[in-house]
Structure 1
Amino acid sequence: MTEPLGTVEILDPIGDLDSGDTQTATKNRAKVGSARPSSLLYTYGPGSTMDLPSFTIMPSGLDDWERIWARRGSIPTVHAPRLLDAVKVHLGPQVSELRPFPWAPKPTSHSKEGEDLGVPARVFPQWLRCTNCDMLAPLTRYAYRNTNPFRPDQARFEHEKCPGRTGRISKRPMPAVPARYLLACPDGHLDEFPYSWWVHEGAKCEAADIPSLAMHDRSLGKGASATIECRACGLKRAMNQAQGEAGAAKLPRCRGRHPHLGLFEKSGCPNASKLMLLGASNLWFPASLSIVVMPESTNETHETVATELLKAAGPKRVQKYGDNLEKWREYLDEEESPLAELPAEDLSAAISHLLEPPPSEEELAEQRRAFDPVSLLVPEWNFLQRDPLGKLHKADRESGLVLSPPDGGIHPGLTAKHVTRVMAIDKLRKVNAVLGFTRIDDMERANDIGQRLVHLSRNGRPSWTVATEDRGEGIYIQLDEQAVTAWEAKVEDPDPASLWSAHTAAHKRNFEARFSDTAKDIDHLSRFLPARYWLMHTFAHLLIREMAMYAGYSAASLSERIYAWKGEGERPPAAGLLIVTTASDSDGTLGGLVQLSSRDNLERVISRALQRAHRCSSDPVCAHRTPKDPEDFLHGAACHTCAMASETSCERANRFLDRRFLVDLPGSAGLGFFD
């Protein structure tokens, strides 16, 4: 399944160009490409730049998606109450639902079903360079071509009557490509590079009001190596002067532009701008939340029921009915709403919640500050502690969860390794929701969501957000809590010469060097993970590598979900991991992971994974790697040869890994949990 990408009439593809001529220019409202839901969620979401064969586009904000959904009588939603409650903490209580991407399947290859749906996008950047004559100009100087509706890959901009570098007019149009320089700031603003301002060093051209520009690039795209020329006055200036700290002082201040929303910040932006190259990895970092839907998490909370009541009745009826339970019952019965079946206590509690005054901005900020991502994992952990009701346990229809104990029970060899629980997850449903995005720093490094998170709607308070559903299978493995606690007490040695102290010190250096200025008042230990997380995380990576050899899936298609935290208050301690494979465009997967959960198969996989952990082709360098001042890397005896995984598999970007916590390596005897 792929989501079509296109532009809609509400979007102005010429951005800041306000002249009358440009307003009558041909606009692209055709399908220009497609992308998988996972790509639109993690790589090419609203506000990012997506390279097409001939130009680059930017998916727009959620306000413009409303005009796409308005083409249909009903809007589908994704059922995940627990995730919706977590989204409300970050985006506000006005968020009422999670929606999938606007897409509809086609019954036949020639069907036109779903052609009216797609993710709205705009051309960005909107300055292009002719590949034949080097003309640098906004897209209104070029002709758009996309005559074949079945070949969106042929969409392109062309320079008609191109004079070339010799002045000879070309008989055929010449292709144009995006000018690859942009300006960004830490608050998530993104803007076109001001080429005319740059070449004239902030002044106006003396020879023309609107000078003709050229970009000469002869170095095959190696960094900021192009030269900008004004063909009217002859001035030239190299782009490499904008690089580095010295170059940053020559750039203009940030204008506070959000091109995905089509607006500028009303109050402006105080930040200095930073030169960015189109396609840079730090141009867009998604902020998202995800859960594995468990039956316990699908129970309707009073807040969720209140949201459903508001959607069903509308604000006027809420004011009219107030707390009159009889009128609410009568209305819900007349509408044949499923909410009419709720017990009186639950319905009354939901109505009371609906009538409560909305939280203040201070209360919302405190909720965001106190939000703990572990709270999304605790219900999953609690449910996985239950024994299945029979050989194959179907939890419920809403969650889509099907799990079973391993065939033959747990192998004695695994029991000796302190493995106390194994579950085959025959079917599961994972839901991912988008909160927003950041630029330059990812969310974990920024860590101040309220200030750094770029919103997906123009008012910053969307009534819904985008979510995807992934279905698949997995294996759940749990270690003995007593053994983990005893090992953890031994490993977390406060001695300054210990391995744990070295990792703690490296984390502090990393935190102070990479976190944003507004997050530096946070204690780095509040972000540092306990030793049991290092243990389970490294163990999960080794299992992903080993399982990929037997399960029929690539290692990049397997991902981890780590349940590792110490007991705190009513929250029980946890030491488990879930290895899953999911797909967003199918009803499930092939069953290869479930087959590995059987008694003998799993013992063989775990034993071989631990055996491989003893050696790495980069040893002894890898085995003895310990961060020392001023080093600030967040891993020890782990590298891409032995323990690191692809970014699609790891939830921590290959941080908090060390083989010495799993097995005894030379020079670190006594630290390995399994030895």
Structure 2
Amino acid sequence: MTTNREKLNNVTHTVRCAQAVLQYGVGAMIDFPDQTLMTASPEFWNDQIDVIHDERLEKALGVQYFGMPGGKANHSLGISYVRFPQWYFCPQCRRFMPILDWIKEYRTKRKKVPGDYDYNMKKPYCTECKKDLVATRVIVACEKGHIDDFPWVAWVHNKNLNGSKDICSNPQLTFGTSPTASAGLEGLLIKCTNCNARASMQGAFDKDIFEKMGDAYKCTGNMPWKNKHTMCDEFPIARQRGASSVYYPKIASSLVIPPYSNRVNLDIEKSKTYHECLIKMEDDDDAERKERIRKQIDNWSGKIAIEISANPLTVKNILFRKWEIIQQENYATDSSDYRYEEFQALTGQIPKNDLLTGDFITEDMDVNQYHIPGIERVTLVHKVREVRALTGFTRINPPGASDLGKDTFGFVSSKEPDTSWFPAYEVRGEGIFLEFDKSQLERWVSGCPEVLVRSKIIEDNFKKSFYGGIIAKDLSPQFIFLHTLAHLLIRELSFECGYSAASLRERIYFNSYKTPMAGILVYTAGGDSEGTLGGLVRQGYHDCLPHIFRKAIANAKICANDPVCITSNGQGRDSLNLGACHSCVLLPETSCDEYNSFLDRALVIGTFENKMIGFYSNYENDIV
């Protein structure tokens, strides 16, 4: 990657903000109409972002703010990309070489031609055939997150069909198919026209193929999104460039809740003075420095109050709260305390004056009108803002539970250590929150020993999995029940309110220890800056939700894959599900808190052998 950047076509090379953070985030490849590019690290596009804040998430991730890519209309360049993979071939003459060689050829032949001379050949094409070049579909990646082009030159000489030979002085490759071989990998033929070496792609995707070929084929440590290389002792693995295992993003999300969603709070975060004092708040290692900051907050609050036309005392109190959050330790999004703050806001434990301002507006409903057993609170969330940050990614193996990749082998941060922000985007939407009676859930578990047996199977399978020995997780029957029920409700709501299942998300609130909670939030995962139109909230009123609830329970009783599904002792990733498959419970993974794991509809509606073990086995299923 060079520092010489050029603006690409705004129509053909545009991605949505959410895509630039999720599936096409830092280190991911994206197929544009004329070439394949990789999203560069944020250090290359930090002047093309909108600054957004969520002070809880900022503290949890150790940053000062978040950057939403390409939000401003006056951005001249947008976010940055690098060309990867580097190898392209011409579909007509079948010549196969790195993009730099294609550009060199282009410059030699076009430099003397007046008119449309494009120094960097933004649209790669063959100057002889006038055909658009095609990026190679095969790359190599290692478990430490490095990625590089397949070693084409070394492969064709090492795997020469007539015996291995040394790499010639001037390799000239062609890429084609063998007329006599089958349609498999052995039918893909690489030739070196300079020395007549020929090799098929047979065996290229074997996991240990490069290890067998020797140390010369170890990972190159290439990090094209950073324009860097590092030492690596791993052997790479060949993958199709579009394979899901090439890029696993790690997203940390947080709801912006009161008092952090207060309108004055939001105005403070947008002020120029706030960004100046935020940097100084971070630098308070000694007691003398802390005392100096206490005195400076008076000065800062006065300046900000004038800038945003607010009460100086109110601004001062908010600045002190923000500073106290910065001082906290062991504050992470996967901690029970972090979720409990959201649970308190959703259950009305925040003063109404705070709830009815800014980006968090709720309405408490009369639960007696719903007649749904086990539910003790229904809250309609008319407005909510969620911030989602890309903290990093892994390759080959999926990421663990930690947002910052702690104890996750091969986790790659999306930013450099001294960069004070993560790429992120925000969505505004609406939701339905259901709080469950914890005492009823406890009586259900104590009265049905079989539910403990089923949850123990999932727990044992989790302990045997890759991450089971690294992280601890409460896989009690209550949690599995709440998680499965959330999936069933999302599937049913997607039919009733018009949103696709991928547009809805779940958020599970469960803890049985120092901060007991049991609840489900189903909310929209998209929406413009003004929020959504109320379609989901409308389904939460007492004339709609009970009907949807009954249909969700009734549809869970039978799966198209029964009896195989409900009698399973482990299915899905690492056998972390029991009675749950794509026909009955699973959702798009972006909608699920747990990547479609820890699900069992038997804990909701029972099994064929024992129909009464489900929490809602006796629930009326007549559809009104």
Query: Are the counterparts in 2 of residues 614 and 663 from structure 1 also a CA contact under 8 Å?
Result: yes
Give CA-to-partner distance per residue, 1:424-472, whole Å, 9 cap, x none. Answer: 1111111111211111111128964565321233x43321111211011
Map of 1:48 onto structure 2: 28
Find 2:582's aligned residue among 625, 640, 662: 640
Q: Secondary structure of the residue that 2:246 maps to in structure 1?
A: coil
Separation (CA, whole Å) in 1 of partners of 2:349 and 2:65? 32
Separation (CA, whole Å) in 1 of partners of 2:548 and 2:419? 46
For 1:48, give the aligned amino acid. A
Map of 1:142 onto structure 2: 102
Aligned positions of 1:561-580 closer than 5 A: 561-567=507-513, 569=514, 571=515, 573-580=516-523
Q: TM-score, normalised by structure 1?
A: 0.76
Map of 1:201 onto structure 2: 158
Map of 1:599 onto structure 2: 542
Separation (CA, whole Å) in 2 of partners of 1:386 and 1:424? 11
- With 640-649 and 181-190 compared, the bigger mean Cα shift is at 640-649
Give CA-to-partner distance per residue, 1:467-518, whole Å, 9 cap, x none. Answer: 21101111111111100112233456698xx333332332233x1xx44xxx
Residues 1:293 and 1:310: Cα distance change in structure 2 (over 3 Å) = closer
Aligned positions of 1:28-39 closer than 5 A: 31=10, 33-39=13-19
Structure 2 gaps of 5+ residues are 108-115, 618-624
Give CA-to-partner distance per residue, 1:168-226, whole Å, 9 cap, x none. Answer: xxxxx022111122121111111111211222229998685231111124699966852
Q: Secondary structure of the residue that 1:386 maps to in structure 2?
A: coil
Separation (CA, whole Å) in 2 of partners of 1:409 and 1:349? 34
Separation (CA, whole Å) in 2 of partners of 1:122 and 1:403? 44
Find 1:120's aligned residue among 80, 83, 95: 80
Q: TM-score, normalised by structure 2?
A: 0.82
Separation (CA, whole Å) in 1 of partners of 2:176 and 2:38? 25
Residues 1:315 and 1:603: Cα distance change in structure 2 (over 3 Å) = closer
Aligned positions of 1:361-400 closer than 5 A: 367=330, 372-386=334-348, 395-398=355-358, 400=359
Separation (CA, whole Å) in 2 of partners of 1:334 and 1:279? 51
Q: Secondary structure of the residue that 1:183 maps to in structure 2?
A: strand
Q: Secondary structure of the residue that 2:591 maps to in structure 1?
A: coil
- With 641-650 and 445-454 compared, the bigger mean Cα shift is at 445-454
Map of 1:404 onto structure 2: 363
Aligned positions of 1:169-188 closer than 5 A: 173-188=130-145
Find 2:251's aligned residue among 288, 292, 312: 288
Say whether 1:551 aligns with 2:508.
no
Separation (CA, whole Å) in 2 of partners of 1:542 and 1:622? 15
Aligned positions of 1:448-467 closer than 5 A: 448-449=406-407, 452-457=410-415, 459-467=416-424
Q: Secondary structure of the residue that 1:98 maps to in structure 2?
A: strand
Residues 1:481 and 1:341: Cα distance change in structure 2 (over 3 Å) = same
Aligned positions of 1:353-502 closer than 5 A: 367=330, 372-386=334-348, 395-398=355-358, 400-406=359-365, 409-411=367-369, 413-414=371-372, 417-444=373-400, 448-449=406-407, 452-457=410-415, 459-491=416-448, 498-502=453-457
For 1:157, give the aligned amino acid. P
Q: Secondary structure of the residue that 1:381 maps to in structure 2?
A: helix
Residues 1:558 and 1:333: Cα distance change in structure 2 (over 3 Å) = closer
Query: Are the counterparts in 2 of residues 564 and 574 from structure 1 also a CA contact under 8 Å?
Result: yes
Map of 2:476 onto structure 1: 530
Aligned-residue sequence identity (percent) comes to 26
Shift of 1:594: 1.1
Query: Are the counterparts in 2 of residues 49 and 57 from structure 1 also a CA contact under 8 Å?
Result: yes
How many residues are aligned here? Answer: 580
Give CA-to-partner distance per residue, 1:269-302, whole Å, 9 cap, x none. Answer: 11111112111101111112111111045588xx
Find 1:160's aligned residue among 119, 124, 127: 127
Map of 2:564 onto structure 1: 621
Aligned positions of 1:223-238 closer than 5 A: 226-238=188-200
Query: Are the counterparts in 2 of residues 186 and 452 from structure 1 also a CA contact under 8 Å?
Result: yes
Residues 1:350 and 1:473: Cα distance change in structure 2 (over 3 Å) = closer
Separation (CA, whole Å) in 2 of partners of 1:350 and 1:472? 25
- With 418-427 and 640-649 compared, the bigger mean Cα shift is at 640-649
For 1:293, give the aligned amino acid. V
For 1:423, give the aligned amino acid. T
Residues 1:224 and 1:536: Cα distance change in structure 2 (over 3 Å) = farther
Say whether 1:261 aligns with 2:226.
yes
Map of 1:309 onto structure 2: 277
Q: Secondary structure of the residue that 1:175 maps to in structure 2?
A: coil
Query: Are the counterparts in 1 of residues 124 and 133 from structure 2 also a CA contact under 8 Å?
Result: yes
RMSD: 3.9
Give CA-to-partner distance per residue, 1:48-84, whole Å, 9 cap, x none. Answer: 0111123210010011013x44xxxxx6421210011
Map of 2:60 onto structure 1: 86
Residues 1:102 and 1:483: Cα distance change in structure 2 (over 3 Å) = same
Say whether 1:10 aligns with 2:3.
yes
Say whether 1:271 aligns with 2:234.
yes
Q: Secondary structure of the residue that 2:568 maps to in structure 1?
A: coil
Separation (CA, whole Å) in 2 of partners of 1:29 and 1:494? 57
Give CA-to-partner distance per residue, 1:366-416, whole Å, 9 cap, x none. Answer: x59x873434311110111217988xx872544x1111133x6543531xx
Shift of 1:529: 2.1
Shift of 1:260: 0.2
Residues 1:188 and 1:529: Cα distance change in structure 2 (over 3 Å) = same
Map of 1:20 onto structure 2: none
- With 134-143 and 461-470 compared, the bigger mean Cα shift is at 134-143
Residues 1:507 and 1:350: Cα distance change in structure 2 (over 3 Å) = closer
For 1:61, give the aligned amino acid. S
Query: Are the counterparts in 1 of residues 367 and 377 from structure 2 also a CA contact under 8 Å?
Result: no
Give CA-to-partner distance per residue, 1:602-646, whole Å, 9 cap, x none. Answer: 111111111121122222222222239x99411111221211122
- With 618-627 and 200-209 compared, the bigger mean Cα shift is at 200-209
Give CA-to-partner distance per residue, 1:82-128, whole Å, 9 cap, x none. Answer: 0111111xxxxxx21112112324xxxxxxx44x0411101110110
Separation (CA, whole Å) in 2 of partners of 1:665 and 1:127? 54
Q: Secondary structure of the residue that 1:594 maps to in structure 2?
A: helix
Query: Are the counterparts in 2 of residues 323 and 352 from structure 1 also a CA contact under 8 Å?
Result: no
Aligned positions of 1:66-105 closer than 5 A: 66=46, 68-69=47-48, 76-88=50-62, 95-105=63-73
Give CA-to-partner distance per residue, 1:306-339, whole Å, 9 cap, x none. Answer: 98624379989x9998744556645764685679
Shift of 1:527: 3.1
Separation (CA, whole Å) in 2 of partners of 1:394 and 1:351? 20
Separation (CA, whole Å) in 2 of partners of 1:123 and 1:609? 47
Separation (CA, whole Å) in 2 of partners of 1:500 and 1:533? 9
Say whether 1:242 aligns with 2:209.
no
Query: Are the counterparts in 1 of residues 577 and 599 from structure 2 also a CA contact under 8 Å?
Result: yes
Residues 1:350 and 1:411: Cα distance change in structure 2 (over 3 Å) = closer
Q: Which structure 1 residue ranges, 4+ long, deviate > 6 Å from structure 2?
A: 202-207, 218-221, 304-307, 312-316, 318-322, 337-340, 342-354, 387-390
Separation (CA, whole Å) in 2 of partners of 1:320 and 1:627? 58
Q: Secondary structure of the residue that 1:443 maps to in structure 2?
A: coil
Query: Are the counterparts in 2 of residues 544 and 555 from structure 1 also a CA contact under 8 Å?
Result: yes
For 1:452, give the aligned amino acid. G
Separation (CA, whole Å) in 2 of partners of 1:656 and 1:477? 20
